[in-house]
Structure 1
Amino acid sequence: MNYKEVAAKILKAVGGDENVEHLEHCSTRLRFNLIDNSKVKVKDLENIPEVIGVKQNVQCQVIIGNAVVEVYDEVKKLISDKGTSVNNNKEKRKIGAIVLDFVISVFQPLIPAIAGGGILKSLLMLLNMLGILSNTTSTYKILNFVGDAPLYFLPLLVAITTANKMKVNPLVAVSAVAALLTPNLAKMLGDGTLFFNIPVQNINYAYQVFPAILCVLLYSQLEKFFNKISPKVIRSFFVPMMSLLITVPITLLVLGPIGYNFGQGFAGVILFVFGKFGWIAVAILAAFLPFMVVTGMHKAMIPYVITSLGQSGRELIYNAASLAHNISEAGGCFAVSIRTKDKALRSTAVSAGISALFGITEPALYGVTILHKRVLYGVMIGAFTGGAFLGVQAVEAYVAVGPGIASLSMFISETLPNNLMNAIMGLGVSFVASFIAVSVLWKEEAPSKEAEKVENNKEKFNAPLEGELIPLSEVKDEVFSNKLMGEGFAIIPSKGELYAPIDGTIEMIFETKHSLAMKSEEGTEILFHVGLDTVNLKGKYFNPEVSVGKSVKKGDLLLSFDLDKIIAEGFDPVTATIITNRPDAKIGTVESKKVTKKDNVFEIN
């Protein structure tokens, strides 16, 4: 995969770097917060072969798969400073969308650190259970401290993500929250203390999320205020000093207790739901997770999971439901791989099924499940069945990570010896139930005659100009050489005439006459672009010989241009021919050679 080329195509399709407000990624998706969602060209994104799927709600989510990190790195390189600038023309969004966007931006980046530390702790417990490393040794305790650090210092991590979202100084934000965690202050709070004769509530801010969020939200407003009124000569120290001076006391007196009590109540509501409805809550959540993951709404559960783990060290609903769903996706895919006669679908189902076994469900969801409603029904049946079993057994999770075979250690418990075994049994129930359901429900979809006609048809293109044929990669323009607009070829013309390479109809003539487009009788759209940067000639030296809507035959003259004068003006005359609507077509090799309008130079299936 050419990551740079893929990144450039994606960035163009989401409206360019100037439309990107924030970019992050999860295990399989690029997640764009955009200034104007209406600029997204969903079809262009879906036509990129390396893109598995596209979903738009609060964020524009581009599903890449296992190569998401590499593509993310390339997109980040292409985003200029103006991509993070403030734009006063932002589209108005509903309050619910804004809140969800904020939640995802703050909590999503926390997952790798929390998951890494949590898995480390669960592996240590496994080593202790096996008698390999005792929990009384200093080595065990030190490593356990390492694993516990992301949750213990969760307020600091939240301060960073919140500051990044609010676009304020993250180091000052961390300093404000760090004040709440200082050992001496914690001791004072424990002993009982006053601030200007006002009692300060004794709260242990370690492991807490919401006090830190409220603290940074207040700081962000104070920073903006003091930046406006502060003289520039003292701004570097005056703004952070005044912000800290106000933020920390107000957090200790007001915001901290509010955030702490909200967190307690938030987790309490979820536990109440589980206590009230028991296993049925896990089963229903598992069954509906395919829809939640597709829309990205499952991310709304992250605050609950992180809060629950921070406060009680365990989580009862979401991870169990996710395990049932993930493994059901795998079971469904493997059933499809056995039942289908479509070789391409079988290959996709096998690879997606393996990925789902390890907790990554997007390839299965977008490559198999949502494309076949019978598979979706089977997966939901499997997820509900597995979720019911896990709910009845009250399986607890101790790490925030996508449940799968590789992360089963997240269910290891020192106090519940059967917890891991119940999780493994739930995994088996989910897989078998989904496999059987999809096997029974599956029905092969016969390809339509129209699809067969398109698949078997081959179009042959003659050279549209006389001159030297070269591959697009040799054109000195990244738009063409990186094939951002599509596949094709280029010709360095020896004569100023452009001919129709195939029978079709003229679709467009650009106002500066240097570019026009046609559609073949089979529906293939072809764009001709004469010269590089020749738009600056504003139509000079170009004379169209056809009009929009006119039918043309192979070899008909489409455009005359004065080649010598274009070269004399300092423009490169190389002409690109681009196929703009057939990204899935198989394209013959283009070799450099001299051609005339009678030479066949290009074929697509």
Structure 2
Amino acid sequence: MSTQESAKAILEHVGGAGNISNLHHCSTRLRFALVDDSQADEAALKQIPGVIRVVIGSTQTQVIVGGKVAEMYTAVEKLRGGVAADTDAPAVRRPFSWKRLGGTVMDFVVSVFTPVIPAIAGAGIFKSLLVLASAVGWLDPATDNYKLLSTIPDAVFGFLPLLVAYTAAKKLDVNRPLALGLVGVLVFPAFSALVAQEGGVALFGAPVAVVNYNAQVFPAILAVLLLSVVEKFFTKITWGPIRTFFVPLMCLIIVAPATIFLLGPLGYWLGTLLTGAMTGLYDTLGWVAIMLMAGVLPLIISVGMHKAFIPPTIATVAATGKDPFYLVASLAHNLSEAGSSLAIALRTKSAGLRATAISGGVSALFGITEPALYGVTLQNRRALISVIAGSMTAGAYLGITQVAAFAVVSPGLASFSMFIDALDPWNFINAIIGLAIAVGVSFTVAVIIWRDDKSATVRAFGDTAAAAPAPIDGAVQLVSPLAGSVIPLSEVDDAVFSAGILGEGVAIRPTDGKVLAPIAGVVTALLDSKHAVGIRGDDGVEVLVHVGLDTVQLEGKPFTAHVAVDDRVVAGQLLIEADLAAITAAGYDTTTPVLVTNSADFSVAVLATGTVKAGDSLVSITQKEKELA
């Protein structure tokens, strides 16, 4: 399926263009804010080629698509009519909850800071390369060449308040040039000179706080938040012919002084507080804090909460020039994802998992962990164990050796110059050692503990050769998928079933059309006609539930499927709903065989007779003993 086709399917299964109130993306995810969350079809989204995982939260539906997110975003935007469509969807009043409030705050943080990261990351790496050039003697820091080149990354951090003002204004749908002009006062050279002069400066007797706003982010956010309220208020009450100049004038009169006297110093204090919290945690727990953070990062990233660490990390780097905590823990985690995935690619016999693991491992080497995380780690407990082992071991070493990062970018091979310290060459060397520990420990643990037959991913790929089942300890029971009357297979009016050609089992004459899963496992087959479903159990038992005889001729009309191929199900979960009256009216027998299709490997004993309810014990299955040659 092409990107265009996948984008069309994604748009359809989030409820269409009219259900999207806002759409943006980060490095691997499409982030939808939907008018009606219930219209998002999570199961259908997961089946779309190119979609790695779907996370539906209180205010966002996240569709993880990996490295091609920019292309997918562009395709979806083109199909839905572009970003202007953000404002077309009707507003929906939702009941207040603290969870929803937290989700709204997180959505705002992500929307404001994610677009700024590329500029900060590029500037940070640029600066680290200048340090490297100086260290090896290519550039002398005292020369004009070095000083001039240094102004390029320094300008990004110096005017960071303007970058944040732009993204915040875009998120809040505020006049962007006006937002830039208002926040620009804080970094305007004449204003900075007045504030910094001896004795400071006052406006009508009120002293202005002496604050350097370069590289600050929170003063800009608070200013734009107030601007949003003021602009909307005056736009609503102002006479149309004078609105063009009167609304901006009132915004300047109200918001600029409020920013200079209150919001600017408050934002600076908030940034200082967050920076202190990050450094305080590190100062209190030391290397243990980094070790623990690295260990829990797989779980934090899986729900998108890692974005909450962006503001304090940016504030820390802006204030101190480095980050000894979050980015260092990320180095340990990112490279552990790579080591684990590459080890599993080496060990697995599943072609599908091998391809996924190689792709995810290479992406993680370069700092993008979502393909490995969602494609391998979170689906397999043994993979997760190896990642946590590598992350915590490397995190402990990096913390003990006090490694720090000097650029806000996801750590990986391409961005490794972020650990260059002009004053301490060992910072870079210890970062390399930490990288080697992360890859080495996670790789070794994964090689030792990995087993294909314990992998949910291998079962989902349907690779039976790779996922050879472990012997059953004792008997496995199938529960009745339907309510009705049990009859022997020999009484089924179909020679294929009655002769046991498709496997041993039993049949049910149903009284209710709800078909439940007879065993826990993975859905391996679901025909377009939706009249039959196959499940491979965790112990290798393969079960087929065939609703009615010759009902394939009905082309799916009386059936509604509630699962899809590769879905994991539990015993008793609803699989299909069948309209028994419609099947009977069409002249077909509703008798439903329940078969163990690989019964050559198992002994099958029918437990139930007479009338059964859905969920009652139906069949007992035990492993056959291998005959000696």
Pick the TM interval, shorter chain.
0.7 to 0.9
Write the letter of the residue equivalent to 2:364: A
Aligned length: 483
Q: Identify which of 126, 143, 162 aligns with 1:120.
A: 126
Q: Does the C-alpha gap of structure 1 residues 279 and 450 become closer, same or farther in structure 2, counting only changes over 3 Å?
A: closer
Q: Identify which of 362, 367, 370 aligns with 1:354.
A: 362
What TM-score comes out, normalization by structure 2 length? Answer: 0.73
Write the letter of the residue equivalent to 1:182: F
Q: Distance in 2 between matches of 1:97 and 1:359?
A: 26
Q: Identify which of 107, 111, 118 aligns with 1:105.
A: 111
- 2:221 aligns with 213
- 2:51 aligns with 51
- 2:330 aligns with 322
Q: Distance in 1 between matches of 2:113 and 2:558?
A: 47
Q: Distance in 2 between matches of 1:195 and 1:548?
A: 82
- 1:30 aligns with 30
Q: Distance in 2 between matches of 1:99 and 1:29?
A: 18
* Conserved? CA contact 1:29–1:68, under 8 Å: yes
- 2:265 aligns with 257
Q: CA deviation at 1:140?
A: 2.3
Q: Does the C-alpha gap of structure 1 residues 197 and 348 become closer, same or farther in structure 2, counting only changes over 3 Å?
A: same
Deviations 1:152-206 (A, max 9, x none): 1110011011111111111111110001111111111112111121111111111
Identity %: 43
Q: Distance in 2 between matches of 1:487 and 1:319?
A: 48
* Conserved? CA contact 2:23–2:86, under 8 Å: no
* Conserved? CA contact 1:189–1:201, under 8 Å: yes
1:88 aligns with 2:136: no
1:405 aligns with 2:408: no
SS across alignment from 2:415: helix
Q: Distance in 2 between matches of 1:449 and 1:281?
A: 37
- 2:303 aligns with 295
Structure 1 segments (4+ residues) deviating >6 Å: 446-450, 551-554
Q: CA deviation at 1:37?
A: 2.0
Q: Distance in 2 between matches of 1:445 and 1:199?
A: 71
1:345 aligns with 2:353: yes
* Conserved? CA contact 1:505–1:549, under 8 Å: no
SS across alignment from 2:90: coil
Q: CA deviation at 1:427?
A: 0.3
Deviations 1:377-424 (A, max 9, x none): 111011000011111111111111110111100111112221111111
Q: Distance in 1 between matches of 2:260 and 2:115?
A: 26
SS across alignment from 2:22: strand
Q: CA deviation at 1:142?
A: 2.2
- 1:434 aligns with 442
Q: CA deviation at 1:442?
A: 1.2
Q: CA deviation at 1:33?
A: 2.1
- 1:528 aligns with none
Q: Identify which of 523, 531, 549 aligns with 2:583.
A: 549
Q: Does the C-alpha gap of structure 1 residues 373 and 21 become closer, same or farther in structure 2, counting only changes over 3 Å?
A: same
Q: CA deviation at 1:436?
A: 1.3
Q: Does the C-alpha gap of structure 1 residues 448 and 226 become closer, same or farther in structure 2, counting only changes over 3 Å?
A: closer
SS across alignment from 1:68: helix
Q: Distance in 2 between matches of 1:292 and 1:9?
A: 28
Q: Does the C-alpha gap of structure 1 residues 251 and 18 become closer, same or farther in structure 2, counting only changes over 3 Å?
A: same
SS across alignment from 2:91: coil
Any gaps of 5 or more consecutive residues in structure 1? 456-485, 489-501, 509-515, 525-545, 555-605
Q: Does the C-alpha gap of structure 1 residues 50 and 323 become closer, same or farther in structure 2, counting only changes over 3 Å?
A: same
Write the letter of the residue equivalent to 1:138: D
Deviations 1:501-542 (A, max 9, x none): x8427587xxxxxxx57689x999xxxxxxxxxxxxxxxxxx
Q: CA deviation at 1:550?
A: 4.5
How do 1:174-253 and structure 2 match up within 5 A?
A: 174-191=180-197, 192-253=200-261
Write the letter of the residue equivalent to 1:26: C
- 1:513 aligns with none
1:149 aligns with 2:161: no
Q: CA RMSD in A?
A: 2.8
What TM-score comes out, normalization by structure 1 length? Answer: 0.75
Q: Distance in 1 between matches of 2:235 and 2:450?
A: 63
Please, which moves more after superposition, 64-73 or 33-42? 33-42
* Conserved? CA contact 2:172–2:228, under 8 Å: yes
Q: Distance in 1 between matches of 2:292 and 2:39?
A: 36
* Conserved? CA contact 2:20–2:89, under 8 Å: no
Q: Does the C-alpha gap of structure 1 residues 451 and 390 become closer, same or farther in structure 2, counting only changes over 3 Å?
A: closer
Q: Distance in 2 between matches of 1:364 and 1:90?
A: 38
How do 1:416-565 and structure 2 match up within 5 A?
A: 416-445=424-453, 503-504=551-552, 506=554, 548-550=582-584
- 2:379 aligns with 371
Q: Does the C-alpha gap of structure 1 residues 150 and 282 become closer, same or farther in structure 2, counting only changes over 3 Å?
A: same
Any gaps of 5 or more consecutive residues in structure 2? 467-525, 529-549, 566-579, 589-629
Q: CA deviation at 1:451?
A: 5.5
* Conserved? CA contact 1:505–1:518, under 8 Å: no
Q: Does the C-alpha gap of structure 1 residues 452 and 285 become closer, same or farther in structure 2, counting only changes over 3 Å?
A: closer
Q: Distance in 1 between matches of 2:239 and 2:349?
A: 73
Q: Distance in 2 between matches of 1:11 and 1:283?
A: 40
Q: Distance in 1 between matches of 2:370 and 2:117?
A: 17
